[in-house]
Structure 1
Amino acid sequence: MPRCLAAPISTLLLAGALALVPSGCARNPVTGKNELSLVSESQEIEMGKQSAQQVEQSIGFYADPQIQAYVSQIGMKMAKASERPNLPWEFHVVNDASVNAFALPGGFIYVTRGLMTAINDEAELATVVGHEIGHVTNRHSVQQISKSQVAQLGLGLGSILSSDVARVAGLASQGLSVLFLKYSRDAENQADKAGFRYALNQNYDVREMASVFQTLDRISSLEGGGGRLPEWLATHPNPGTRIQNTEARLDTLSRSLSNTVANRDVYLQHVQNMAYGEDPRQGFFEGGTFYHPDLRFQLTFPQGWKTQNGADAVVAVSPQQDAIIQLSLAGKASPQEAAQQFLSQQGIQPGNTSSSSVNGLPAASGYFQAQTEQGTIQGLVTFVSYNGNTFGMLAYTPQGKLTTYDGAFRQAMGSFSQLQNQAALSVKPARVELVKLPREMTLEQFNAQYPSSISIEELAIINEVESPSTAIPQGRMVKRVTGGRKPAG
């Protein structure tokens, strides 16, 4: 769960798109070809800066200055040697368990801590970061915006909801759409080529690019992968030819790779003790109940609803996908002030309001109706003051269905309470530990001697070992995962 709340209905009704001034064609700095562009470079940079602020506020950076500096150093070397060295390049590790990397217009590049713990050397990281640099140098996001997606451009974080729910509730324009632009196969191939070249120019062993694709494929196919499916594959189309294309580039290289570097042990030392998987301190579910140890509260959602602890809200969607409940932080205003501010927004028609308490905590509620591009929605909003914060609970459904869901909305909001369960309050995230093998052993033998809190199948993937029976040589650094919350049941 995030640290801040975007104004819910205003983000539902309007994405903060940047005004774009048509400027005709522009030369692709990488290919040299003229391409349609409605976005100038200054607008591209401004767009990226605004979106970057939202990324930092809503996802947050991983709190390790050394690893931030390490990733930035690798990225800056490649970016400064690229076709667009004068962009205000920034490279960050975001505190997200998903296996992902993404680029914003203007040179703002992000990798997740989930990606950092999934790969195994600096050359792999360089090819991923180089790929994202390639999207920026080729101006791919600008091309996509220019062609078809100006109306969908937003400056918040992407919705975690299904497209059906988004249409029902008018959420289609919500979110940092620029973060999740779908690129064509040609664009992906261009970015792969660029990343390959940028990494090679810095003397990295570009054979590791194929290893990244293989790792991502294995994670995506792993059943019960701890919620760590590689979103990089979802936002970066992965046709079966990408590994083959990498191998083809290797076959046509005119230079030897014998003196290139992977820097495996250097890389692994940087991910030693890194948080692995979802951080339960930022909230977790047991059944339909959401617990947040750091903020010390709990909330129970309706039985059978699909729940998600998202980047900017905790969300539950009804089985019929026609009703939503979301919980977010709403600043420091009193519940009454927050409710008044919400209900007085343009486009909101307020209904009955009340001031009372929720499990002894000061609260204010109000019904509302709002018109979206997809139709009219009706709902209930409740603000609760607790432990120095005000929490906003927003529930809505299409017009005519409020009576169906009103009881579920009220029951969920009425369950907000102080978290007192000591087991939940003391939960810790899992972390990566390194072991230098004292002798040759299989991964299965390693796991018996140095147990991990993840499955051996997942352990094999993050160590790039083919199977549990694969022998690993003496002296090799191997990752294990320790600690973390064990799922109920």
Structure 2
Amino acid sequence: MKSRMHKGVSLILGLGTACTIGLSSLEPASALPWQQLIFNGVQLLQLSNISPQQTVALGQNIHQQVKQNYRLDSNSKTNAYVNRVGQRLAKASNCSQIPFRFYVVRDSSINAFATTGGYVYVHTGLLNAVDNEDQLASVIGHEIAHICNNDLINKLKQTQLAQGAASLAGLDQSAVTAIAYQLAVDLPNSREAEFNADDKGLQYMRRAGYNPKAMPAFLRKLVRQSSAPSFLSSHPATQERISVIERKIANGR
């Protein structure tokens, strides 16, 4: 689902997504609250040393956009289930200090996504597709890994480096939030980021006591469907992912 963007955001993102993975990060600068990162009409994103508190604040802002564009499920039992699985995995992650929040989106498509600062979203279509809690944990663990790896912040860095500070002149906080929203929800992660999230997700599953074999099992189930779900459309070739994951499981990683 496309977000409701400020005018010109699509152009900005078009420039940003043209950059290659692996660009160097910005020079360190003193950490500032996110709301104060505007100077003289030019957006100076202090992304090289953004604090966990600032990522949480950005995640909160993006959450407001998610609520405008998606219908969040109000079923207390379903939300409690997803939150229980998510918190179990979050505690086993390498960024457990982040206050993770898990939400259920009323959408029949098989999908899940994460933003930053601990915000993870699971579609009802995904909940209906998994065979057991371990398979659900494989997806949530993958999304938690994106947050632990700061993948959205890295996308923002690449966007900033690709266009330069001057091209961000005049953008206010809401526009920056809109850009971050589209990067998180509408645009795919890099191949490297997806494989890293699989790797970290497997580690979190093991630590949390889930069966890591559920990850390739669920991917196989999706591949067997007549039409590929959106969950796979933004990821690397699924068969390759399955092979890499199974090798890591066999090697005890």
TM-score class, shorter = 0.7 to 0.9
TM-score (norm 1): 0.39
Q: How many residues align?
A: 212
User: 8 Å contact 1:207–1:250 — kept in the other structure?
Assistant: yes
1:64 Cα deviation from its structure 2 partner = 1.1
Task: Give CA deviations for 1:92-128 in whole Å, capped at 9, x if unaligned.
Answer: 1111111111110111001100111111100000010
Aligned to 1:190: 196
Counterpart for residue 28 of structure 2? 24
5+ residue gaps, structure 2, are 13-25, 30-45, 169-174
Aligned-partner residue type, residue 102 of structure 1: F
CA contact (8 A) 2:59 2:115 kept: yes
Shift of 1:37: 4.7
Q: Cα–Cα, structure 1 residues 73 and 218, in superposed 2: closer, same or farther, change >3 Å?
A: same
Distance in 1, Cα, partners of 2:8 & 2:103: 30
Tell me which of 182, 187, 212 is aligned to 1:206.
Answer: 212
Provide the C-alpha distance between the structure 2 equivalents of 1:175 and 1:136, rounded to a whole number of angstroms: 14
Match of 2:81 in 1: 70
Aligned counterparts of 1:111 and 1:49: Cα–Cα separation in 2: 17
Q: Report SS of the residue matched to 2:85.
A: helix
SS of aligned partner of 1:196: helix
Of 44, 62, 65, the match for 1:54:
65
Q: Which has the higher helix share?
A: 2
Residue 198 of structure 1 and its aligned partner are, at CA, apart by 0.6
- Aligned in 2, Cα 1:106/1:175: closer, same or farther, shift over 3 Å? closer
Residue pair 2:104, 2:123 contacting (<8 A) in 1 also: yes
What letter is aligned with 2:244? N
> Is the CA contact (8 Å cut-off) linking 2:202 and 2:212 kept in structure 1?
yes
Q: CA RMSD in A?
A: 3.2
Q: In 1, distance between residues paired with 2:7 and 2:229? A: 27
Task: Supply the distance in 2 between the matched residues of 1:38 and 1:216 (Cα, whole angstroms).
Answer: 37
Three-state SS of the structure 2 residue aligned to 1:191 is helix
For 2:250 and 2:9, how far apart are their aligned partners in 1?
Answer: 50
Q: Distance in 2 between matches of 1:241 and 1:13?
A: 37
**Greater relative contact order structure (CA < 8 Å, 6+ sep):** 2
CA deviation vs aligned residue, 1:292-320 (integer Å, no higher than 9, x gap): xxxxxxxxxxxxxxxxxxxxxxxxxxxxx
C-alpha distance in 1, partners of 2:146/2:252? 23
For structure 1, the residue ranges without an aligned partner over 5 or more in a row are 26-35, 157-172, 224-228, 255-489
Report the secondary structure of 1:111's partner residue: strand
Look up the match of 1:11: 6
**Residue 45 (structure 1) aligns with:** 56
Counterpart amino acid of residue 67 in structure 1: T
The verdict on how the C-alpha distance between 1:120 and 1:178 changes in structure 2, with shifts beyond 3 A counting, is same
Aligned residue runs from structure 1 range 124-163, under 5 A: 124-148=135-159, 155-156=177-178
Larger radius of gyration: 1
Residue by residue over 1:385-442, the C-alpha shift from the partner in whole angstroms, topping out at 9 and shown as x without a partner, is xxxxxxxxxxxxxxxxxxxxxxxxxxxxxxxxxxxxxxxxxxxxxxxxxxxxxxxxxx
Residue 174 to residue 133, structure 1, CA distance change in 2 (3 Å): closer
8 Å contact 1:154–1:177 — kept in the other structure? Answer: no
Counterpart of 1:215 in structure 2 is 221
Matches within 5 A, 1:199-278: 199-219=205-225, 222-223=226-227, 229-253=228-252
Partners of 2:237 and 2:190 in 1: CA distance: 10
**Cα distance change, pair 12–148 in 1 and its aligned pair in 2 (3 A):** closer
The structure richer in strand per residue is 1
